[in-house]
Structure 1
Amino acid sequence: MTASDLAQWRRPGPTPEQRRVDVLIGIAVAALTLLNMTLATSSGMLVFPHVPQLPEQVFWVLLITVPLCWRRRWPEAVAIIVSAAYIGGQVRSSPEQQLSTGVLFAAIYALGAWGRERRRANWIRVGIIAAMFVLIFVNLTILLVQGSDQEFERASGFLPPLLAVIVNGLLVNVLAFGFAYFFGETAWTAARREHQLELQAEELRASQAEARELAVAEERLRIARELHDVVAHHVSVMGVQASAGRRVLEKDPAKARAALTSVEQSARTAVDELRRMLSLLRQSGEPVDMAGGSVERIDDLLANAREAGLETTLGTYGDTVELPESLSQAIYRVVQEAVTNTIKHAAASTIDVRIRYLAHEVEIDVTDNGRGVVSAQRVGGMGLIGMRERVTAHDGVLETGPVGDAPTRRGFRVRARFPLTRVAVEA
């Protein structure tokens, strides 16, 4: 929620339950005020020497108190009616002053807490408070003009009695009206903050739902990548061996038998890999670990390539270090994808794999002597995308492209470099 949205926010109206409570409170306050008026007139404790007749007294009491039944539904109208009725009761010397004054403060508070148009609510409150101080000034002026020493015959303080009355009246009313204004504003601010927290909670729930959907999508992509890496490699080898066996079936049954044996072995390996991944996917409550390859198993990949008819070489350079399992698996998958692409697309006869352990990084270099130009056009395939994601996940750098310069270039190279600083921390 932006600052402009907060500035334009309007507090929603009261609920039906709150409206019913307001009606009950208004009726109760009206009844208590009528009772207080009866007690004041019966005991003779009157603020004004002359009071109106009983029907008019009841009229002013009801006009001041009954609007409280709608103080949260229409706070502006209630505040204006109550303040006008209060001033009218003062002018007509209404005998009830105690609870009527409290009703006035409640109306000012309700306007501050529930006023929908903040600018208008502020101006109405300021206007009402200003009118009340004008009324106080008028009453003090009348006291100055008409007062007599007999009214202060029991005064014993060190201040002049009239000055004490003026200061007391101003101080009490400043505090009372100030508290009514301040707490009304505080209640409105608290309601706005609660609304803001609800919006933030809703945004958080939406963000969590989006994160869950993204996690599901990433997991699906990971599964697709693993299926591609595992199955495509073995199926590619099976295809090459089956093709070779078909060609030599009649001429050289021994070679055909060896090719079919290789197909059988690749099929079993693929099925075992699929069964392992599916069993991991069926496990609930645990993270899925699809590990199945490592740097130590790269020679097995090249064995499959040799069975497919390729000449392979594997070289390891530098001082070997223990790699984290995730990094070792990523290197295995990169080499596996490169070997699979060579078998499927490159029409190559040799493939060279080199692993270099350098001072601050480990480098994987896979090169073949196939159709480098054709291979370079396969940058949009699922395999190279997965390969790049694996390398990026370990802060590595991936380079793919043909070997040599045109037009004599021949072969395709996949080179990946992984930093060893992060490896050392993880290890």
Structure 2
Amino acid sequence: MNTVTDDDWRRPGPTPEQRRFDVYVGLAATLLSLVSLTLARSTGAFLLGPPPSGPEQVFWTVALTLPLIWRRRFPAAVTVIISVGFIAAQARSAPEIQLASWALFAALYSLGAWGPDRRLARRLRVGVIATMFVWLGAYYAVSIDSIPADAFAGAVGPVPPVVAAMVNGVLVNGLFFGFAYFFGETAWLAARRQHEVQAQAEEVRRSQAEIREHAVVGERVRIARELHDVVAHHVSVMGVQASAARRVFDKDPVKARTALSAIEETARTAVDELRRMLGLLRARDGHPDRAEQPGPAGIDQVTAVVDRAREAGLRATLGVYGDPAPLPESVSQAAYRVAQEAVTNALKHAAGATALDVRIRYLAHEVEVDVTDDGRATRPANADGLGLVGMRERVATHGGALEVGPRAGGGWRVRARFPLPLPVRPA
């Protein structure tokens, strides 16, 4: 699994709505800075010294605020432009410094919050902040000799006035740039966490969709297996009995009527089982009365399967060995379906089969279903028919073992072992 680090993640660019908002912000900041410039010129408060010409003052004012229009699209370029313009404007004694300072703050914040390359964003911000402090030191060094003698006439504190002014300037600028860096980093981390939450939510949705899909597939497989077991067995028995009735219809009407009666009974049983299955499927949505639905077939109904094989003309026998123990419903039903499918295969594929032997053995830790016949198999042992696949799935679901193949002395064998839960068998 690949892990995305903080430096690898890229924040998506601004949306069209955010870009339009930046345009409004940049234009508003430019307009306000021009108003601030007008007020500064009107008061004559030129704190940085004699100002340049009027057009140059307007140029520096616009150059420091208008780039905010692109602050989220190109945060690194905007930060460099505003930083260089900020130092150049102060070097030229541009009178508008209030909105220019906040434009520099917004640029540093935007670079921290939206910079796509995190290493570049950090290095560039640290470089800009360091350059600003170097510029502040140079400004102090150049202007200290030009301070008037009476500039600090009212000073009464214990700290020398010049030192106090320098320390105050460093503290204010430290807080200014520190907050710009901190808030930008915090905004980026918040966007990263939101991305992780959205990614986790999407992963949960995908997992839920996969679980639902697997559940649907599993339900379809279960329904197909049940339908195959029910329909294939009963139709196979009906086909054998119909063939027998056809052969003796003219010679022995009594046997023909017996075969037809067996076909009728088998068809009725098949319809009842299909009705039970359809009722269980509808129960998920319609909540029918459970009392009206017959219970699922279990191992105790293997006798009926053997009887139908006997009615189809085979010498079918059933033997139960060991002390019968109460089985979990799922195990009992799986054992029944395996026996039913094995008998069905004997009727369909065992050419010349005359005898069928079904044995159920209750062992110490498992129950075994063993079905053998004396016919000649008409399909290979590794055939992937639906019946064999269904038996394998049923046995594997309960952690059992399945053996299917020809017998050494002739005929075919299906043997399934189902492990029993510990509470089922006494110690």
Class of the TM-score when normalised by the shorter of the 2 chains: 0.7 to 0.9
Change (3 A) 1:360 1:164: farther
2:381–2:406 Cα contact (<8 Å) kept: no
Letter of the structure 1 residue corresponding to residue 253 of structure 2: P
Matched, 1:388 2:409: no
More displaced stretch, 46-55 vs 88-97: 46-55
In the alignment, the residues of structure 1 paired with residue 144 and residue 322 of structure 2 have an alpha-carbon distance, to the nearest angstrom, of 106
Partner of 1:297: 301
Indicate the SS of the match to 1:89: helix
Letter of the structure 1 residue corresponding to residue 315 of structure 2: E
In the alignment, the residues of structure 1 paired with residue 419 and residue 391 of structure 2 have an alpha-carbon distance, to the nearest angstrom, of 16
Letter of the structure 2 residue corresponding to residue 246 of structure 1: R
Change (3 A) 1:367 1:158: farther
Partner of 1:368: 373
Partner of 2:261: 261
Matched, 1:329 2:327: no
Letter of the structure 2 residue corresponding to residue 350 of structure 1: A
Letter of the structure 2 residue corresponding to residue 410 of structure 1: G
More displaced stretch, 212-221 vs 304-313: 212-221
Letter of the structure 2 residue corresponding to residue 332 of structure 1: Y
Change (3 A) 1:27 1:367: same
2:237–2:308 Cα contact (<8 Å) kept: yes
Using the TM superposition, give the Cα deviation of residue 374 of structure 1 relative to its aligned residue in structure 2, in angstroms: 4.6
Change (3 A) 1:67 1:290: farther
Partner of 2:116: 116
Change (3 A) 1:140 1:337: same
Matched, 1:315 2:324: no
Consecutive unaligned residues in structure 2, runs of 5 or more: none
Partner of 1:352: 357
More displaced stretch, 261-270 vs 282-291: 282-291
1:353–1:364 Cα contact (<8 Å) kept: yes
Task: Tell me how many residue pairs correspond in the alignment.
Answer: 420
Letter of the structure 2 residue corresponding to residue 389 of structure 1: E
Indicate the SS of the match to 2:168: helix
Deviations 1:221-270 (A, max 9, x none): 22221111001111111111122222222332222221121112112222
In the alignment, the residues of structure 2 paired with residue 319 and residue 166 of structure 1 have an alpha-carbon distance, to the nearest angstrom, of 100
Partner of 1:131: 131
Letter of the structure 1 residue corresponding to residue 185 of structure 2: E
Deviations 1:26-73 (A, max 9, x none): 222223333334444444554324333444333322221122122122
Deviations 1:278-305 (A, max 9, x none): 3444455379999631112111111101
In the alignment, the residues of structure 2 paired with residue 216 and residue 287 of structure 1 have an alpha-carbon distance, to the nearest angstrom, of 19
Letter of the structure 1 residue corresponding to residue 74 of structure 2: W
Indicate the SS of the match to 1:3: coil
Using the TM superposition, give the Cα deviation of residue 306 of structure 1 relative to its aligned residue in structure 2, in angstroms: 0.9
In the alignment, the residues of structure 1 paired with residue 154 and residue 294 of structure 2 have an alpha-carbon distance, to the nearest angstrom, of 96
1:230–1:273 Cα contact (<8 Å) kept: yes
Change (3 A) 1:120 1:327: same
Partner of 1:105: 105
Consecutive unaligned residues in structure 1, runs of 5 or more: none
Matched, 1:96 2:96: yes
Query: Equivalent residues in 2 for 1:35-74 (5 A)?
Result: 35-43=35-43, 45-74=45-74
In the alignment, the residues of structure 2 paired with residue 49 and residue 311 of structure 1 have an alpha-carbon distance, to the nearest angstrom, of 120
Letter of the structure 1 residue corresponding to residue 370 of structure 2: D
In the alignment, the residues of structure 2 paired with residue 164 and residue 421 of structure 1 have an alpha-carbon distance, to the nearest angstrom, of 85
Using the TM superposition, give the Cα deviation of residue 91 of structure 1 relative to its aligned residue in structure 2, in angstroms: 0.5
Query: Equivalent residues in 2 for 1:8-23 (5 A)?
Result: 8-23=8-23
Change (3 A) 1:7 1:398: farther
Q: Give the share of equivalent positions with the same residue, in percent.
A: 57
1:324–1:423 Cα contact (<8 Å) kept: no
Using the TM superposition, give the Cα deviation of residue 23 of structure 1 relative to its aligned residue in structure 2, in angstroms: 2.0
Partner of 2:345: 341
Using the TM superposition, give the Cα deviation of residue 341 of structure 1 relative to its aligned residue in structure 2, in angstroms: 0.9
Partner of 2:231: 231
Letter of the structure 1 residue corresponding to residue 163 of structure 2: L
Normalising by structure 1, we get a TM-score of 0.87
Letter of the structure 1 residue corresponding to residue 127 of structure 2: G
Partner of 1:419: 419
In the alignment, the residues of structure 1 paired with residue 88 and residue 382 of structure 2 have an alpha-carbon distance, to the nearest angstrom, of 90
Partner of 2:406: 402
Normalising by structure 2, we get a TM-score of 0.87
Q: CA RMSD in A?
A: 3.0
In the alignment, the residues of structure 2 paired with residue 417 and residue 10 of structure 1 have an alpha-carbon distance, to the nearest angstrom, of 57
In the alignment, the residues of structure 1 paired with residue 287 and residue 401 of structure 2 have an alpha-carbon distance, to the nearest angstrom, of 27
